[in-house]
Chains A and B, each alone.
Chain A
């Protein structure tokens, strides 16, 4: 009898243990179901995932469209039945959209699988397959605006440089230009020239996101903000400019050694007075300034999902007085991309938060129905409202009385800062302009660099004006 009881016990143990084991299988299957039900587009789009090539056998690649409905890139079939990628605007969107041949870049690479996915009616899709026809891929709708893109592209002319314009509140990029550029239609035949790059043009480099430049006087915006934070009585600031300032054997000149005379903080900012800001720089708390700059994403990741180069900033106790003064006026070791500068000026425009600049808006199927909307989350607030109102006064002063005067007297109000960044003695300076325009609550922020041109007010401000005029 004892034996029998044992057996019942055994069987109970066996049942309990087996069913417990089943729990891990329930979890495993649930995990697989959740994985499959989730959005795996990122996985499919990973450059290591070779499956993308299979999709193109069954789907005709979708187009890239501008926000105003124009075709930026499309796939057409030539007389011999080969599919080719066409770019109706030739060079104009080369960097914003990327290229398809010779290794995909830009949107072509990033949204590759989305454009190879067909979100049409499954019945139609099945019928197409039956007929042996490719399904039409979904189209990528961007935030780019052809009129603004054209204005920026023409305004930059034959200069090297980059332009970004975006809505500072949403982060929708309205135009992105980088020059020198290339024609994505003929990139195959021009490839060797582009790679050899005899004239050091780096035409394949998207300067708007990957070009790093000294920020020059555009950086004074952050020096100013740091000064305000360390000196609550900043309204009482006064400085007497004699065209230059010297300390510990180092000398900083104002532009053209101009004497700006007696000035308050707003005047010094509007006239971009190097002497005043170098002096301010010497009094700043190094650690606090470093913290401010990292909150503005220097030495940090930018909140974007495409290729860019990160900005660098250093300011420490080993710096010589000369380096301290240089850093405060945006020279020194600091480097920034036009994209990053656009984020900074947008923070002033949008009430203080770090915006997420983006180009991809949504995917629509071939009959225009939205199949996926890309959503973006904005970052932290880095400027307080009371700080913004003073910064805006200063930026407005630049337009009214300072280096951005060419933008005054328009229907729209412009807040901005010029910069003239020296990068090599004996070469012309890079011309910078960052700013935003406002009219009836509609805002547009720009970040412009014109390489080796001259002053910001002479070369970058006119580009800004053409963009603002095209927008309003």
Chain B
């Protein structure tokens, strides 16, 4: 029994390493047929990893639910992959595969940690996928997306402010709204509006006056999040704004000014808020304050150390001992059971997504869409950095979810939307008349 679990652990790691390897080798050579073959192989990897993982989980306590969930997941996966390829003609298949790979890992880890969470998460993912199928149609229909600007920010600030007034506190942050028993986190969705806002306002004109005004609006977002004690959220908004501003204007001075302003603000926040101090001291030395705030980071490091390179085997760790393991600290649970190699491969898959997002951004001509894609990409990868960095004690823990893997409806839904918007922008701008227009212009000029 143990041997089977351990063996399966190795198989999962090897298949996932292979998958990751494909992520970075698929573009060697321009042969389209070869790429297609690799994408198909990746999807086989996704199927195999999920199958082996579910087999182990089933052997653990013979819960028939596991088999049902696996069957449903595979059906949904099969249908969704085909639907996406129909509705998103010419999409990035690598990003599509990565999205499903990460979703599958998240769900089988949740099945292992808490079945109820897994079922809820599966339902939300399914609903999200159905919604996201229509995103390209929506983008196409709403032709005024790039004509709006300040409206995005005003809407965003209002939403965040409403949350602040009616919010419930959960895991230390006051950024949850509960409507009819369903808790959601509006900041996860406002952050997409936020990217629209920056891209729309700054690509029209980037005079100094306009930058100042945009910065004030951006600062308002960040400030509300800080007051809500959503440190991770505040940081993601801040960095997204700063990097996007620098990319649009090409002015490094903005980046330097922003970073120094941000550092000053961080110092002030540290002096003002005890919860910030706790996070920083838990990062500096979780061992000495293990009973007063350091436990989470300590347990997370225990888990990663216990897992070593190849993990204890799925189901053989103790994820229950890490507080909020199903969301912010799921990376530690994965490291413990599937090992450091698997965990690093997850990071590489995230990076592969980001590289694709940047490539898409570079290929798009229309500035609004170009920078929307870039902004969303930065938001995504920076969240990964905060999440993994916090769990591994590389940086202080800021309490953010791991995109597509962590439990959390708002988080997974907003990430699905984020992926779909980028893909949607890509298929609309990559193959539409606009590209040809630009090419004509070039050849004409």
Complex: A229 Cα to B206 Cα, angstroms: 76
In the complex, how many residues of chain B place their beta carbon closer than 8 angstroms to a beta carbon of chain A?
Answer: 55
A28, CB-defined interface residue at 8 Å: yes
**CB contact between A33 and one of B299, B344, B365, B367 (< 8 Å): that residue:** B344
A317, CB-defined interface residue at 8 Å: no
A46, CB-defined interface residue at 8 Å: yes
Q: Mask for A24-68, Cβ within 8 A of B = 1, else 0? A: 110111011101100010011010111100100010000000000
B58, CB-defined interface residue at 8 Å: no
- Structural contact, B3 and A28, CB atoms closer than 8 A: no
Complex: A53 Cα to B381 Cα, angstroms: 36
**CB contact between A22 and one of B248, B305, B351 (< 8 Å): that residue:** B351
A129: B residues at CB distance < 8 A: 2-3, 6
A18, CB-defined interface residue at 8 Å: yes
**CB contact between B302 and one of A28, A29, A48 (< 8 Å): that residue:** A48
Grouping DSSP codes into helix (H, G, I), strand (E, B) and loop, the A interface class, with mixed when no group exceeds half, is helix
- Structural contact, A48 and B394, CB atoms closer than 8 A: no
- Structural contact, B306 and A10, CB atoms closer than 8 A: no
A440, CB-defined interface residue at 8 Å: no
**CB contact between A51 and one of B246, B306, B344 (< 8 Å): that residue:** B306
Complex: A46 Cα to B300 Cα, angstroms: 13
- Structural contact, A10 and B392, CB atoms closer than 8 A: no
Grouping DSSP codes into helix (H, G, I), strand (E, B) and loop, the B interface class, with mixed when no group exceeds half, is helix
A199, CB-defined interface residue at 8 Å: no
In the complex, how many residues of chain A place their beta carbon closer than 8 angstroms to a beta carbon of chain B?
Answer: 37
- Structural contact, B445 and A54, CB atoms closer than 8 A: no
- Structural contact, A32 and B392, CB atoms closer than 8 A: yes
- Structural contact, B250 and A35, CB atoms closer than 8 A: no
**CB contact between A44 and one of B250, B299, B302 (< 8 Å): that residue:** B302
Complex: A58 Cα to B355 Cα, angstroms: 42
- Structural contact, B374 and A14, CB atoms closer than 8 A: yes
Q: Mask for A2-25, Cβ within 8 A of B = 1, else 0? A: 001001011101110110011011
B316, CB-defined interface residue at 8 Å: yes
Complex: A33 Cα to B299 Cα, angstroms: 18
A46: B residues at CB distance < 8 A: 287, 298, 302
B46, CB-defined interface residue at 8 Å: no
**Do A50 and B318 contact each other (CB < 8 Å), given the known contacts A14-B358, A25-B351, A36-B309?**
yes
B48, CB-defined interface residue at 8 Å: no
Complex: A129 Cα to B7 Cα, angstroms: 10
- Structural contact, A4 and B301, CB atoms closer than 8 A: no
- Structural contact, A17 and B306, CB atoms closer than 8 A: no
Shortest distance in angstroms between A372's beta carbon and chain B's nearest beta carbon?
A: 16
Complex: A25 Cα to B316 Cα, angstroms: 29
B3: A residues at CB distance < 8 A: 126, 129-130, 132
For residue B246, which residue of chain A has the nearest CB?
A17
- Structural contact, B347 and A58, CB atoms closer than 8 A: no
For residue B290, which residue of chain A has the nearest CB?
A48
**Do A15 and B321 contact each other (CB < 8 Å), given the known contacts A25-B385, A31-B394, A130-B3?**
no
**Do A35 and B304 contact each other (CB < 8 Å), given the known contacts A14-B358, A14-B361?**
yes
Complex: A11 Cα to B362 Cα, angstroms: 6
- Structural contact, B442 and A43, CB atoms closer than 8 A: no
A1, CB-defined interface residue at 8 Å: yes
Complex: A331 Cα to B355 Cα, angstroms: 73
**CB contact between A18 and one of B358, B441, B442 (< 8 Å): that residue:** B358
Can you name 28 A-B residue pairings with CB atoms under 8 Å? A10-B248, A10-B250, A14-B358, A14-B361, A14-B374, A18-B354, A18-B355, A21-B378, A24-B385, A25-B351, A25-B381, A28-B388, A28-B394, A29-B344, A31-B394, A32-B347, A32-B394, A33-B340, A36-B304, A48-B298, A48-B299, A49-B299, A50-B321, A51-B302, A126-B3, A129-B6, A130-B3, A132-B2
**Chain A interface (Cβ within 8 Å of chain B)?**
1, 4, 7, 9-11, 13-15, 17-18, 21-22, 24-25, 27-29, 31-33, 35-36, 40, 43-44, 46, 48-51, 54, 58, 126, 129-130, 132
**Chain B interface (Cβ within 8 Å of chain A)?**
1-3, 6, 243, 246-248, 250, 287, 290, 295, 298-299, 301-306, 308-309, 312, 316-318, 321, 336, 340, 343-344, 347-348, 351, 354-355, 358, 361-362, 365, 367, 370, 374, 377-378, 381-382, 385, 388-389, 392, 394, 441-442, 445
Given contact pairs A17-B243, A18-B358, A46-B302, a sample of 11 additional A-B residue pairs in the complex whose CB atoms are under 8 Å apart: A4-B442, A14-B361, A21-B354, A22-B351, A28-B392, A29-B348, A36-B308, A49-B306, A51-B303, A58-B2, A130-B3
